[in-house]
A and B are shown apart, each in its own frame.
Chain A
């Protein structure tokens, strides 16, 4: 008898899991349904470039349904909730879908309304986020008109998608204003709840040095309690204030809302408690989690989602065959960090080993933790690979799921 896998979310993780499963199982063996509330798949790494006129939202959005191979069903509907006892998904339109295995791939959502004042007066006029297509496009207009003053980049709280994106934003802002010849009239400040711009020690030293060279100020351990768009101030819970003329805020993130309406599925922030090595839900054995929706201690990033795919698909197959699961996901992340002027830096790390210098993927390859033009080209090429290799569920040349160790200082690798 045919079994059914339901995938909630047609983004990076949901799409690549569905496509990989389809290659393993015939349609008679396994029915695969992908559910999403809309048919717009955003290439999220592209959002960073939109405010600087280097990309446009039209170039980074494609239909979700067209990224799925044939014989995968696409249901365009919002989810009301999951009944983990009944193994069913209730849709807002009243339909109920039963599953044998559920894949939660609904990512993280932005919660700007949870910060006092953030969506009040000044929102999308003087205070923006580049984490949504609408915000990134609006910020492009505001940056073009900005000809001097205080630009502040603020992360309200962790976790956020792509923790390096705010750093890339200020590096690109530095480049953008220099190109326009007005850098001396702009002050750039990064305001973070963390105790440094980046938290892993070796990468932090490298990135901190670059930030200082580019004359970007840093305010740490700042827990934003209020964003006053009208008055142009960030106000911390401890009373500190940072003034701005243009605010670029990364809002609070949470898991999808339906998770909060699904008893037993999520945590207080609507992320799904997940085993960090098998990627199985901690509360229901027939639920697997991929990407930003999981509460695993890895970065919320497309590369992590990509590397998780292999483990999730293997474990769905094992689960359906009543076999033991594999626990081989190592938290691997691989991120290009744009630093402006046509250069980028590459970091590669996992749960145990912090980003190290060296080369990727082996002794010969892209330089790690070092600015280069090659890395910038790598970042640009990623968009092509994303649509043509990563989403269809093929491997990207030179990119295994486990973190490679060959090009790194052996004494610093932890296992």
Chain B
């Protein structure tokens, strides 16, 4: 675990870069978190995924897997990989400030 400064605010991240406390996340952190993942600009499609990840997390206690994202977010798995080429579930979870989705363990 380590403390990082995102958008001038200290936050706790675990060894794999996931938020320890999703409550520390604010929307203003997303751009900087995205750049750390190699995504220069967040489009509205990215935001659809980020918001979906957070609502699923607060609803169910874990973020969705890629397959569930593809079925429920309105964005196909193929497009999800275009948006987050290094793996939609993990990368989107880091940008959305939630822990690693349980299905990825």
Binding site for B on A (CB under 8 A): 157-159, 199, 221, 223, 225, 237-238, 252, 267-269, 297
Could you tell me which residues of chain B, from 49 to 105, have a CB within 8 Å of some CB in chain A? 64-68, 71-72, 77-78, 80-81, 85-87, 102-103, 105
Whether B103 and A225, one on each chain, are in contact in the complex, defined by CB atoms closer than 8 angstroms, is no
Whether A199 and B105, one on each chain, are in contact in the complex, defined by CB atoms closer than 8 angstroms, is yes
Measured in the bound complex, the distance between the Cα atoms of B102 and A199 in whole Å is 12
Q: For residue B90, which residue of chain A has the nearest CB?
A: A221
Measured in the bound complex, the distance between the Cα atoms of B69 and A237 in whole Å is 14
Which 9 A/B pairs are nearest by Cβ-Cβ distance? A237-B81, A268-B71, A268-B72, A268-B68, A157-B67, A199-B105, A238-B81, A158-B103, A238-B85
Nearest-Cβ distance from residue A351 to partner chain B, whole angstroms: 12
Measured in the bound complex, the distance between the Cα atoms of B103 and A268 in whole Å is 14
Whether A225 and B87, one on each chain, are in contact in the complex, defined by CB atoms closer than 8 angstroms, is no
Q: For residue A273, which residue of chain B has the nearest CB?
A: B60
* Of A221, A252, A297, the contact of B87 (CB 8 Å cutoff): A221
Q: For residue B66, which residue of chain A has the nearest CB?
A: A223
What residues of A have a CB within 8 angstroms of the CB of B66 in the complex? 157, 223
Nearest-Cβ distance from residue A29 to partner chain B, whole angstroms: 38
What residues of B have a CB within 8 angstroms of the CB of A223 in the complex? 66, 81, 87
Nearest-Cβ distance from residue A316 to partner chain B, whole angstroms: 26
What residues of B have a CB within 8 angstroms of the CB of A221 in the complex? 87
What residues of B have a CB within 8 angstroms of the CB of A238 in the complex? 81, 85-87
Q: What are 24 contact pairs spanning A and B, CB under 8 A?
A: A157-B65, A157-B66, A157-B67, A158-B103, A159-B103, A199-B105, A221-B87, A223-B66, A223-B87, A225-B77, A225-B78, A225-B81, A237-B77, A237-B80, A237-B81, A238-B85, A238-B86, A267-B68, A268-B64, A268-B68, A268-B71, A269-B68, A269-B71, A297-B102
Whether B67 and A252, one on each chain, are in contact in the complex, defined by CB atoms closer than 8 angstroms, is yes
Nearest-Cβ distance from residue A337 to partner chain B, whole angstroms: 19
Measured in the bound complex, the distance between the Cα atoms of B103 and A269 in whole Å is 13
What residues of B have a CB within 8 angstroms of the CB of A157 in the complex? 65-67
In this complex, which of A199, A221, A268, A297 has the most chain B Cβ atoms within 10 angstroms of its Cβ? Answer: A268
What residues of A have a CB within 8 angstroms of the CB of B81 in the complex? 223, 225, 237-238
Binding site for A on B (CB under 8 A): 64-68, 71-72, 77-78, 80-81, 85-87, 102-103, 105
Nearest-Cβ distance from residue A45 to partner chain B, whole angstroms: 24
Majority secondary structure of chain B interface residues (helix, strand, loop or mixed): helix
What residues of A have a CB within 8 angstroms of the CB of B77 in the complex? 225, 237
What residues of A have a CB within 8 angstroms of the CB of B105 in the complex? 199
Q: For residue B86, which residue of chain A has the nearest CB?
A: A238
Nearest-Cβ distance from residue B67 to partner chain A, whole angstroms: 5
Whether B78 and A237, one on each chain, are in contact in the complex, defined by CB atoms closer than 8 angstroms, is yes
Measured in the bound complex, the distance between the Cα atoms of B64 and A119 in whole Å is 26
What residues of B have a CB within 8 angstroms of the CB of A252 in the complex? 67
Known interface pairs A157-B67, A237-B78; 14 further A-B residue pairs with C-beta atoms within 8 A, sorted by A's residue number: A157-B66, A158-B65, A158-B103, A159-B103, A225-B77, A225-B78, A225-B81, A237-B80, A237-B81, A238-B87, A268-B64, A269-B67, A269-B68, A297-B102
Measured in the bound complex, the distance between the Cα atoms of B39 and A9 in whole Å is 47
Measured in the bound complex, the distance between the Cα atoms of B69 and A269 in whole Å is 11
Measured in the bound complex, the distance between the Cα atoms of B105 and A356 in whole Å is 18
What residues of B have a CB within 8 angstroms of the CB of A159 in the complex? 103
Measured in the bound complex, the distance between the Cα atoms of B87 and A225 in whole Å is 13
Nearest-Cβ distance from residue A197 to partner chain B, whole angstroms: 14
What residues of B have a CB within 8 angstroms of the CB of A158 in the complex? 65, 103
What residues of A have a CB within 8 angstroms of the CB of B86 in the complex? 238
Measured in the bound complex, the distance between the Cα atoms of B67 and A328 in whole Å is 31
Measured in the bound complex, the distance between the Cα atoms of B87 and A223 in whole Å is 9
What residues of A have a CB within 8 angstroms of the CB of B85 in the complex? 238
Nearest-Cβ distance from residue A258 to partner chain B, whole angstroms: 17
What residues of B have a CB within 8 angstroms of the CB of A199 in the complex? 105
Measured in the bound complex, the distance between the Cα atoms of B71 and A223 in whole Å is 16
Q: For residue B89, which residue of chain A has the nearest CB?
A: A223
What residues of A have a CB within 8 angstroms of the CB of B80 in the complex? 237
Nearest-Cβ distance from residue A338 to partner chain B, whole angstroms: 25
What residues of A have a CB within 8 angstroms of the CB of B65 in the complex? 157-158
Measured in the bound complex, the distance between the Cα atoms of B64 and A269 in whole Å is 11
What residues of B have a CB within 8 angstroms of the CB of A237 in the complex? 77-78, 80-81
Measured in the bound complex, the distance between the Cα atoms of B50 and A9 in whole Å is 38
Nearest-Cβ distance from residue B100 to partner chain A, whole angstroms: 11
Measured in the bound complex, the distance between the Cα atoms of B64 and A268 in whole Å is 10
Measured in the bound complex, the distance between the Cα atoms of B78 and A237 in whole Å is 6
Measured in the bound complex, the distance between the Cα atoms of B94 and A185 in whole Å is 44
